[in-house]
């Protein structure tokens, strides 16, 4: 089955309208609160003639009694937490304030379909976890949360003071889920892990690339998406 350019544009317009007007809002504006920033949901400024509003229900309410603080970035972590949100958990995504981020950030453009898909069913706020005010605000949130998910290098959470032992002193029920490319200990533990690194070291790139050229990464980020999926199920 093939579609004309006009049919494709109309379909994409309708899908964008659904995402913009559903319970999940694009997270692209913030209100300054001292040294921290809290996101304010906004509707998209784009309108599409003929587009209809549709409900955007979650897959389940099985985890609706849990609150999850999402510190994750890029691929594996957001994939994990997205599943928890799909199953009804109250997700609060905590991001770095825009003025502290170079360029578009590690997750790519916020308005892209990939970013919006990974961050669906989440609310968002920004905190500077390197500032005393930001880390204090985060620890107040930990008091009432059930789960914290992060995918920093293992040494980062120790440096910020948000390792499990520190969080357990605030909330003895807290569950800390840590995702990293090379584990929490061992000779490679402090190395950052991205999907293309996993593809190269795992051998997947040995069967990619054009004849006579070098290896290339797969566009589908299989390795770290699978890692995030496994962490979500566990």
Is residue 45 included in any domain, yes or no? no
Q: Could you tell me the CATH number of the domain that includes residue 157?
A: 3.40.50.10540
Q: Walk along the chain (234 residues) and give the pLDDT tens digit of each residue.
A: 444 555 555 555 554 544 444 443 333 333 333 334 444 433 333 344 554 444 456 778 899 999 999 999 888 899 999 999 999 999 999 999 988 887 777 777 888 888 888 999 999 999 999 999 999 999 999 999 999 999 988 889 999 999 999 999 999 999 999 988 777 778 877 777 777 777 777 777 788 888 888 888 766 655 445 544 454 555
DSSP letter, residue 143: T
Please give the DSSP secondary-structure letter assigned to residue 221. Answer: -
- What residues are paired with 39 via a beta bridge? 30
Helix (H, G, I), strand (E, B) or coil at 179: coil
pLDDT at 94: 95
115, 107 contact by CB (below 8 A): yes
| CA–CA distance, 108 with 195 (Å, rounded to integer) | 14
pLDDT of amino acid 219: 63
Is residue 192 within 8 A of residue 143, CB to CB? The reply is no
- In this structure, the strands spanning 67-70 and 175-178 are unpaired
d(CA 200, CA 192): 14
**69 assigned to some structural domain:** yes
Please report whether residue 5 resides in a domain. Answer: no
Q: How many CA atoms lie within 13 A of 187 on its CB side?
A: 0
Decide if 13 is inside a domain: no
Nearest Cα to 95, choosing from 17, 177, 22, 39?
39
Report yes or no: 99 and 105 within 8 Å, Cβ to Cβ: no
What pLDDT is stored for residue 148 in this prediction? 97
Write the DSSP assignment of 29-60 as a string of letters.
Answer: -EEEETTEEEE-----S---TT--------S-
Q: Estimate the crossing angle of helix 222-233 against helix 76-86, to 10 degrees.
A: 40
Q: Are the C-beta atoms of 186 and 195 separated by less than 8 Å?
A: no
Domain extent, residue 151, equals 31-40+56-233
> Is 223 inside any structural domain?
yes
The confidence score (pLDDT) of residue 32 equals 35
Residue 168 near residue 95, CB atoms below 8 Å = no
pTM, two decimal places: 0.66
Domain total of the chain: 1
Does 47 reside within a domain? Answer: no
Q: Is residue 153 part of a domain?
A: yes
Residue 94 within any structural domain of the chain? yes
Among candidates 43, 39, 64, which has minimal Cα distance to 53?
A: 43
């Amino acid at each position: 089955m093939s579609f004309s350019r006009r049919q494709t544009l109309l379909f994409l317009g309708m899908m964008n309208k659904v995402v913009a007007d559903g319970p999940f809002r694009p997270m692209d504006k913030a209100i300054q609160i001292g040294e921290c920033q809290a996101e304010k949901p906004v509707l998209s400024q784009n309108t599409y003639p003929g587009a209809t509003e549709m409900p955007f229900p979650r897959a389940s309410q099985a985890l609706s009694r849990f609150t999850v603080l999402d510190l994750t970035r890029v691929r594996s972590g957001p994939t994990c937490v997205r599943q928890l949100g799909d199953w009804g958990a109250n997700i609060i995504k905590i991001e770095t304030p825009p003025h502290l981020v170079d360029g578009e950030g590690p997750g790519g453009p916020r308005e892209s379909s990939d970013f919006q898909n990974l961050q669906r069913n989440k609310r968002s706020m920004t905190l500077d976890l390197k500032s005393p005010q930001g880390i204090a605000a985060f620890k107040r949130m930990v008091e009432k949360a059930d789960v914290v998910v992060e995918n920093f290098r293992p040494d980062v959470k120790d440096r910020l003071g948000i390792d499990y032992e520190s969080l357990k002193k605030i909330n003895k029920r807290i569950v800390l889920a840590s995702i990293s490319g090379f584990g929490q200990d061992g000779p490679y533990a402090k190395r950052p892990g991205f999907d293309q690194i996993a593809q190269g070291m795992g051998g997947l790139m040995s069967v990619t690339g054009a004849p006579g050229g070098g290896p290339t990464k797969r566009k589908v980020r299989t390795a770290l998406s699978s890692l995030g999926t496994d962490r979500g199920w566990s």
